[in-house]
Structure 1
């Protein structure tokens, strides 16, 4: 896995600086790299200059600062709500319903073949705008029925989590949802809401949405999980951070529980924690 923190930031040319609303230097980028790594464990690639400038420029406009140096100095001097806005601006949220469909087939088989006693407990650790946790919930409710599972959906980004909690989507985003599941779990908007769908209350009520920072030690979980979805998250962490997060995830899972990860993620060097059970699916070691 890449660790962009150890590389030297590329010099910014005069041509790149022309036409920019705010001055933007290598030192500014280095400072952003340091702060987002400290706060969220994210290792920003050195090719992300343009992305970081674009996203954080909005924060300068909203807070009234005229330079990145002033904004970042102020940010470091406070422990207020702007830190959440800073993190929100720099996190990437790409998701869709039933993305990496084979995971949901494996998850459904797992639910069918295992006895869960008081109910199956699942954690989706990167909920984004909600498509993933609702896909998990639809799968679980379709197999187990209402009230037989609980799902905690978390994200570090408060804004996307608020969107997820609302459960309202454009009809064209439903391509991954079968017609049967769409009828069972969604309501179509009418009149002014035409072209929109809303998650039915029984599905929404099965999910608890909470803000969780994976690198912090304040996770709110009191009981272990039977399955954890942590997909396309670790690619933003360097190797030491990945290991620390995997150890923490291991601690909140039951022996034999399944961990679903992204298609570009491989944890074969953590065999003391998880063993590969299928395509990007791991089992917690006992």
Structure 2
């Protein structure tokens, strides 16, 4: 799936965590399923190449994805897993040249994507000063995750990715608690002020214009279509938060934790939305 934004700078120097569609065999366009909905114009089964995928593995309607009903393609990010599978795991042999590899390659890709997403979060965690007490553990987790990405295809398919993700998530949660506690002291945010802004909170359509949500734990929160105009989300943990159609115009997301480009691409915003330096304003945002 082709993206509508240019490559941002990462927190660190790990450019292999940036998706590069030009170096991928169209894996997300072939391996992943989707259903006709507000995000996709058609049904597509897993392992069935999208009819818009061209012979060179580029999208034939890249410039008109939103207008043609493929908004879901514009918010997807593989964190660099596509090119890793294409040129490292399979050594540059694409599934059209070697059809016998197609089924396995399509099954490996989602696993690699999970690992690369974890690398993205761990990479960010390693740059956060308040998390220095656990930096050794974070580095070990990063190195182990990177090692797993280099496994052979059959070993990747046998990997218990969910168990590894759970182990890494424990460290990411510890990172979040350390960083948010330090930010609470620095910003003098009263303890208990953010009780309604909790992990997994149902804030669908919530009216939060101008809300002070600093240092909140919004991991996995449902913020679909929430009004977050001018809200202050500095140092809030946003890992896995659902921002589909959330209005972020004028919101302050600087210093927010574990925010990804795909979350922003699913939301609405404008040039006044303040972002972490590693992310950019999507082109479909007002004034962007």
TM over 0.5: no
Higher relative contact order (CA 8 A, sep 6+): 1
Please, what TM-score do these two structures have when normalized by structure 2? 0.29
Greater strand percent: which structure? 1
Q: Which has the higher helix share?
A: 1
